[in-house]
Structure 1
Amino acid sequence: MIRIKSPLLRWLLIGLAISFSVGLLGLSFWLVRLDQDVRARYAGVRWVLPAQVYASPLELYPGARISITELRRELERLGYRASDELTGPGTFAVSGSELRVDTRAFAFWDGVQPEMRLAVKSDASSLTSLRAMGSDASIDLLRLDPMLIGSIYPSHSGEDRVLVKLSEVPPLLPATLIRVEDRAFADHFGVSPKGILRAAFSNLFSSGSRKQGGSTLTQQLIKNLFLSNEQSYGRKINEALMAILLERHVSKNDILEAYLNEVWLGQDGSRAIHGFGLASQFYFNKPLNELRPAEIALLVGIAKGPTVYNPRKSPERVKDRRDLVLQLMEDGGLIRDDEREAEALTPLGVLNSVAGGVERYPAFIDLVRRQIKGLYREEDLGSEGLRIFTTLDPRAQERLEARIIADLPDLEKNRQLKPGTLQAAGVVTSVEGGEVLAMVGDRNVRYPGFNRALDSQRPIGSLAKPFVYLAALADPGRYNLYSTIADEPIDLKMLNGSHWAPKNYDRQLHGNVPLHVALAKSYNLPTVRIGLDIGVDRVHDLIEAAGLQGPPRLPSMFLGAINASPLDVAQIYSTLAASGYLTPLLAIREVMTKEGQPLSRYSFQLKQTLPEGPVYLTTWAMQKVIEFGTGRWAVSVLPAGQKFAGKTGTTDDARDSWFAGFGSDRVAVVWVGRDDNKPVGLDGAAGALRIWGRLMRDLDARGIDLTPPAGVEEAQIDPVTGLLADAGCAAQVTVPFLSGALPKDYAPCANAGQSSPLDWLKDIFR
């Protein structure tokens, strides 16, 4: 036993012992508290799960109007891969008029549709048969998995992720991640002393700024979940201790699964891409379990630093990193040498544009975000991880975008306008069900800013005229399609003492014109004359009944002094297209919780708000707009032999160019103009009509059903007099009338209208 003679040294050693004991006791208490904190915080980890927004699924059935070429394009849009043979879900093979596909399983709102191997045949325009491979049984209906078109996440968080379970991940991914990032993962206790020493030695002799890190996957997870990116010894010590403590309570598999869902792998504007589940969609437009080894290597390579290794900005650097990871995969026995060589020869395969991101269809996602708040209770929407199934038709959206992108520059060139001067917006809806199928709010179709389709309130011009004529035709005692209307000057004294003297667009007078011709040619003076006769209130009420609230109760309303958005116009024209039945236009079909339970929604009821017979007569007149009126240019591009109805719209000084129209299955509205409200030199026929006509052709829209509804009967009419005609009249047309409202007299040309001498004598004595 050593005896310490110096009292000073003895007391110093005693003090040191006491200090050490107190420090050790304090450290113990601190570690206990830190341990409790780590357990509580990890148990309370609740990832922000944005709502996932899906497009409408493509339905396949015998007779579906889609060719093999179009079906192939749809599969490629969904991330399916062409192959000589089916190798698993998400693959397809084409041979002549037959396409074989291995579909993905998907949980729809009405149940789970399992994976299926399917053989599809078609002719030039439609599917002729569907059958399950290995069976002769025909399949009546099958839905492809819908496209993930975006996310809606809380405003306080820019994080986006798709959660995955370790059991759902291809085994090659975690094995590669461990091989590249943390080879001792299975053996260390949260930190790797060997890794720390190796990194320290490497950094000591490193002359550059790029340093090696010694962090384990557990440490990286701790940093991502709980700590900042501060580069300090204190933060690193805290990180290491928390990692050690976490591994005392959580299994390696749980840590690995959490890391797979948490790691940051890229940026999409303000949206941070977290986890491999979403990164697979973001970069390759396919689910995680369909990734090839080279694609897995690329994602693992990006994890080192998404800013430095951005495949869209630095493809060569990323390829070098990917190939290095492939080499490490081979060195670790994860892939064979020949596999590595083959995979290293493949291109990166990263999409040029973000197919599944919020930037893809910004105008439509904007509509979904607004409508969901009006359809569901706020307390239900607080649940994270909602799955929103929408009405968006990717094919219709693609065609609308393509037309605006292609046609606006042509319009500018024709009018000698500076490129980029014009703006545009468009909406496509279904006639049945009132579903919004496509929407564009800017000429830059990916621009997520001002949405003109929803927020641009512009005068609609002559788009209002059909409702003036509808009001007239609803009064059969006074008006029918061949009623004569005077195209003569009007000078109306207003309540404030001013005078309103409208003019025709062509500044001409046309005498007496039939009612349907006045609409087809978009004459202003006959329209105002009819409106004044019927009354402002009646026209106002019909426009509101069609679905547009708050039009002004002024005569200028007859000529379109009504501010509305393209979606507003689509609403009222959808009511006309649906024979007077109002269905609020919707972009949302169903919303489900992350557990797969549907949310209850506020119900809307379909109801008839416009009289069906007069709507049919108005639609008949609107067909003449395209047949020989202001929309006649469209005949050159629309399918021959089919009838479509529509109306041009032009505002003062040609500041706004509109066209709205429909067939039996599609309604489309297009607006062209300038944000600064300066004249564009384009009326509705020279501007928006050109986009609308080609769009309806590209949509393969169907013409209008010409069968009169109950309460409407047809008669042969002399086009000169508007009176009844028979075989005695050289020219005659078939015209619909409300039942009981046919003309009473025959035209002079009709045999029935010519009196015999006997009739003359009878009239004298009578």
Structure 2
Amino acid sequence: MSVGLVSFSVYLLSLDKQIRERFAGARWQLPAQVYASPAELYPGLNIEPQPLRHELGRLGYREVQELQGPGTYVAGKGGLQLQTRAFQFWDANQPSLQLGVKWGEDGNVSEVYDLEAGAPRDIVRLDPMLIGSIYPKQGEDRVLVKLSQVPELMSKGLLAVEDRSFRHHFGISPKGVLRASIANMRAGRVVQGGSTLTQQLVKNFFLNSKQTWGRKINEAFMAVLLEVHYSKDEILEAYLNEVHLGQDGNRAVHGFGLGAQFYFNKPLGELRPYEIALLAGMVKGPSYYNPRRNPKRALERRNLVLDVFRDEGLITEPEHAAAIQMPLGLAGGGSGVERYPAFVELVKRQLKGQYRDEDLVSEGLRIFTTLEPRAQESLEKRIAAALPQLEKTRKMKPETLEASGVVTSVDGGEVLALVGGRDTRYAGFNRALDAKRSIGSLAKPFVYLTALMHPDRFNVQTLLPDEPISLTRAGSKPWTPMNYDRQLHGPQSLANALAQSYNLPTVYLGLQFGAKAVKDTLVAAGYSGNAAPVPSMFLGAVEIAPLEVAQMYATLAANGYQAPLSAIREVQTKDGAPLSRFPIKLRQTLPEGPVYLLNWTLQGVLTRGTARSAYSVLPGDRAYAGKTGTTDDYRDSWFAGFGADRVAVVWVGRDDNKPTGLSGANGALPIWTQVMKDLNARGLDQIPPPDVEEQLVDPASGLKADEGCPGARSVPYVRGNAPQQFAPCASAAESAPMQWLRDIFQ
């Protein structure tokens, strides 16, 4: 008997050690939480009431008749009231604020008013959207909550459903098992479990779900030992954070904190009774009662839990009646908090080298990113709408085409949106980062920029030959490029050759300086590849991923100043202490004057060139610049372009690299155009830099013009290189001989 007692004691001590070691320290690996850029409210903000309401809805704010706490808003004529959520930003802790927002006659926000302080506010940030997490390999994800943050109905309602005697038993409850059996028989179905909440925690935290006597015995003893060492509140808080509430692909959703975000897109503290009842009911079987896959079953279970809430006096009869009538109320999208896996993948890559993988998945880091939800939503929506239509027009099988896209800011090089494929929730192959495809005519602007960097030889008016070219290399067939339309068009001004995307003038221009010089220009713009410097590079025989294309065009948009594209603003510990800042690293890599001339020329692509259809959608009084790109046999369709504040790049093609029949103008361009319209992108500023002068020029001769020349237009030149000779049509040209005579006789 003494041997048995010793063995039993050793057994208990072993269980006790497991409990104390695992439960005393950090109980969970805490995934890094990834946040979008916060929306800002300030006087002069260019946003109308409906888009702002949409933004609030995206953040999980709900419209009410009068403010009911954080996360609610009231819409009225000409204005809106809202109560923000408290949030600890990277630079300040912002409390919950009650605000009034008014609009002016111009459609912009005219006033942001602090209703409690009775004073205007210069700027207020809304709480940022939680867009994803970087979780461990085993796939557990959670958002930790303290018991004090949990609604009373959640904690009391959970105990009413799962363990009514929790506050009184010592880990196991024989009476509970008996009572649950009777309740289940009366209901004709299982409405209560026999295990205590402590036993469920032990099973989830320490053991497994195998239905064996050994596991049940361990569970019972460990439940008692857990109750010996820890208070009821500590056990309840641990359960609230550990319970499994569903699956999102390979990511397991644990805890009510993440469950509230995953299913309702709002913090746990803002859940209403019918939402709390749904989560409490799912504890019994998160897969069986999955509200997205089994809505009818989940609704029945939720209503049963609401009955328990009423019977236990946790909600009133009117509250019960109102809750029963409510729909499930799930957040849209079907994927909860893991909204933008392609963008989060970019974040992970940019964090590599600065943080260990184990820190990213276990330390609960808070990562504030540059993602702009409005831009991301637009890019996703426009790609999703365009691809089926293109497939139908081209008589392709559905799901044939793929696409990717990137939107960045001009100032600072922030990545605002990124789509890796038509299935925007797919966390696999990311085409925006990894699909290196031939860029076609997107390479041409860098050929022209190479020439414009020699203003003594080339300017936007320089005539280029459009004539056949044949190049031979030892051991290879002659390379004989042709224009897109297989026609010759005669001499073309540099500006028009680029606007119309003619191949032969481009090759001629590239040969003046050589492929090595053109590659150097590509590198200066942001290209990091190692393509061989051969003449076919002039027409885009270089493979680049969309994100890097965006980097190159962002350098053009910033007048030759390059800021490495970044998706991260700040990294903090779980307690809000700053770890790293990601400052803007701006450097000039291309000369400002020639870049200005190139961008002036790229505006012609949209006004009279291959992308002129864009202005059937975009405002005609705004200037944008960009370039279409089409590769051999129509395998790739590109458009890259920018305004004063936004750069966007779109690619459309097939993963098997077969022809699509789409040019840059009829594949990628319409998507780009709609995105820029959605974002209300600002037009380009038309103020030339100090080293650029503008001169009135006669388009027929390319010489200096005045009011006597019909059709004369202002043309930019690098200072000191504008034509000095007057055109024959100029009034000044006619008076020149008389002036010469006067000069002689003075």
TM over 0.5: yes
Specify the alignment match of 2:480 in structure 1: 501
User: Which is further off, 453-462 or 192-201?
Assistant: 192-201
Aligned to 2:690: 710
Cα shift at 1:501: 1.2
Which residue of structure 2 aligns with residue 284 of structure 1? 264
> Which amino acid in 2 is paired with 1:587?
A
The C-alpha deviation readout for 1:192-214, integer Å capped at 9, x for no partner, is: 011234457789x8999979742
Structure 2 residue aligned with 1:169: 150
Tell me the residue number matched to 1:193.
174
Instruction: Report the Cα distance in structure 2 between the residues aligned to 1:244 and 1:414, rounded to whole angstroms.
Output: 68
- Using the alignment, how far apart are the partners of 2:451 and 2:681 within structure 1? 30
CA contact (8 A) 2:648 2:672 kept: yes
**Could you list the per-position Cα deviations for residues 273-301 of structure 1 after superposition, in whole angstroms to 9, with x for gaps in the alignment?**
11110001111111011111111111110
Are the counterparts in 2 of residues 312 and 352 from structure 1 also a CA contact under 8 Å? no
Contact 1:532/1:555 (8 A) holds in 2: yes
Separation of aligned partners in 2, 1:150 and 1:584: 23
SS in 1 for 2:578: coil
- Supply the distance in 1 between the matched residues of 2:543 and 2:109 (Cα, whole angstroms): 44
SS in 1 for 2:73: strand
Please tell me whether residue 24 in structure 1 is matched to residue 9 in structure 2: no
Whether the 8 Å contact between 2:79 and 2:102 is mirrored in structure 1 is yes
1:72 equivalent to 2:53? Answer: yes
Which residue of 528, 532, 551 maps to 1:571?
551
- Seen in structure 2, the aligned counterparts of structure 1 residues 207 and 356 have a Cα distance that, compared at 3 Å, is closer
- For residue 649 of structure 1, the aligned residue among 629, 639, 647 is 629
1:85-104 CA-to-partner distances (Å, cap 9, x unmatched) read 00111110001111000100
Give the structure 2 partner of residue 9 of structure 1: none
Partner of 1:258: 238
The more displaced of 641-650 and 319-328 is: 319-328
Report the counterpart of residue 641 of structure 2 in structure 1.
Answer: 661
CA 1:129–1:331: 2 relative to 1, 3 Å: same
Q: 2:134 aligns with which of 128, 141, 152?
A: 152
TM-score (norm 2): 0.96
Aligned residue number for residue 111 of structure 1: 92
Contact 2:261 2:267 (C-alpha < 8 Å) held by counterparts: yes
Q: 222, 228, 233: which is aligned to 2:213? A: 233
The answer on 1:545 being equivalent to 2:524 is: yes
Q: Which of 609, 612, 616 is the matching residue for 1:632?
A: 612
Asked if residue 450 in structure 1 is aligned to residue 432 in structure 2, the reply is no
C-alpha RMSD of the superposition: 2.2
* Structure 2 residues not aligned, in runs of 5+: none
Structure 2: distance between partners of 1:220 and 1:74: 39
1:599 aligned counterpart, secondary structure: strand
Match of 1:128 among 110, 122, 147: 110
> 1:490 aligns to what?
469
Instruction: Tell me, in whole angstroms, the C-alpha distance in 1 between the residues paired with 2:454 and 2:414.
Output: 32
User: Is 1:138 matched with 2:120?
Assistant: yes
SS in 2 for 1:93: strand
Measured in 2, the distance between the counterparts of 1:315 and 1:211 equals 18
Does 2:344 align with 1:371? no
Q: Against the structure 1 CA distance between its residues 383 and 191, is the aligned structure 2 distance closer, same or farther, given a 3 Å change threshold?
A: closer
- How far apart are the structure 1 equivalents of 2:233 and 2:21? 19
State whether structure 2 residue 290 is matched by structure 1 residue 310.
Answer: yes
Matches within 5 A, 1:593-742: 593-600=573-580, 605-742=585-722
Cα distance per residue 1:667-714 (max 9 Å; x no partner) = 011111111111111111121111111221111111100111110010
Aligned partners of 2:721 and 2:356: how far apart in 1?
A: 49
- Greater CA drift, 315-324 or 631-640: 315-324
Q: Helix, strand or coil for the counterpart of 1:118?
A: strand
Question: Cα offset for 1:340?
Answer: 1.1
Residue 638 of structure 1 deviates from its aligned partner by 0.8
- The residue identity in structure 1 corresponding to 2:287 is T
Shift of 1:642: 0.8
**In structure 2, what is the Cα distance between the partners aligned to 1:686 and 1:42?**
60
Partner of 1:85: 66
Residues 699 and 282 from structure 1, CA distance in 2 versus in 1: closer, same or farther, beyond 3 angstroms?
same
TM-score, normalization: structure 1?
A: 0.93
Q: Offset of 1:726 from its aligned partner? A: 1.1
1:510 correspondence with 2:489? yes
Match of 1:521 in 2: 500
| Cα distance, 1:67 vs structure 2 | 1.0
The superposition leaves residues 119-164 of structure 1 with CA deviations (integer Å, 9 ceiling, x where unpaired) of 0012463211100114542110000000111111122x20000011
Q: Please name the residue that 1:54 is paired with.
A: 35
**CA–CA distance in 2 between the matches of 1:184 and 1:700?**
59
Counterpart CA distance in 2 for 1:562 and 1:687 is 20
Post-superposition Cα deviations, 1:4-43, rounded to whole Å, max 9, x if no partner, equal: xxxxxxxxxxxxxxxx343234323432343333322322
C-alpha change, 1:134 and 1:191, in structure 2 (3 Å) is: closer
Larger Rg: 1
Contact 1:377-1:601 at 8 Å conserved across structures: no
Q: Tell me whether 1:326 sits opposite 2:306 in the alignment.
A: yes
Residue 450 of structure 1, CA deviation: 1.5
Which piece of structure 1 moves more, 628-637 or 368-377?
368-377
- How far has the Cα of 1:224 moved from its partner? 0.7
Paired residues of 1:79 and 1:90 also in contact (CA < 8 A):
yes
Determine helix, strand or coil for the equivalent of 1:493. Answer: coil
The 2-side partners of 1:225 and 1:307 are apart by 19
1:473-488 alignment runs, 5 A limit = 473-488=452-467
Deviation at 1:223, TM superposition (A): 0.7
1:110 Cα deviation (Å)?
0.4
Separation of aligned partners in 2, 1:335 and 1:120 = 35
Change (3 A) 1:211 1:171: closer
Residue aligning to 1:249: 229
Q: 1:375 to 1:552 in 2, by over 3 A?
A: farther
Task: Tell me the distance in 1 between the aligned counterparts of 2:736 and 2:689.
Answer: 38
Aligned residues: 743
Report the Cα distance in structure 1 between the residues aligned to 2:718 and 2:493, rounded to whole angstroms: 17
2:579 alignment partner, SS class: coil
State how far apart, in whole Å, the 1-side matches of 2:93 and 2:412 are: 24
Aligned to 1:6: none
Correspondence for 2:383: 404
Q: For residues 570 and 190 of structure 2, what CA distance do their matches in structure 1 show? A: 50
Stretch deviating more after TM superposition (746-755 or 338-347): 746-755
Structure 1 residue 379, shift from structure 2 partner: 8.1
Secondary structure at the counterpart of residue 398 of structure 1 = helix
Counterpart of 2:115, as a letter, is M
1:653 and 1:31 map into 2 onto residues whose CA distance is 74
Counterpart amino acid of residue 102 in structure 1: Q
The answer for the alignment partner of 1:40 in structure 2 is: 21
AA aligned to 1:128 is S
Contact 1:459 1:561 in 2 (8 A): yes
* 1:423 equivalent in structure 2: 402
Q: State the SS of the aligned residue for 2:387.
A: helix
Give the residue type in structure 2 aligned to 1:600: S
Q: What amino acid is aligned across from residue 428 of structure 1 in structure 2?
A: V
User: What amino acid does structure 2 have at the position aligned with 1:547?
Assistant: G
Distance 1:261 1:304 in 2: 16
Partners of 1:607 and 1:377 in 2: how far apart?
29
State how far apart, in whole Å, the 2-side matches of 1:488 and 1:510 are. 8
Distance 1:115 1:616, change over 3 A: same
| 1:647 to partner: Cα distance | 0.5
Instruction: Establish whether residue 459 from structure 1 lines up as the match of residue 438 from structure 2.
Output: yes
Structure 2 residue identity aligned to 1:261: N
For 1:590, the aligned partner's letter is E
Unaligned stretches of 5+ in structure 1? 1-19
Work out whether residues 68 and 121 of structure 1, in 8 Å CA contact, stay in contact via their aligned partners in 2.
no
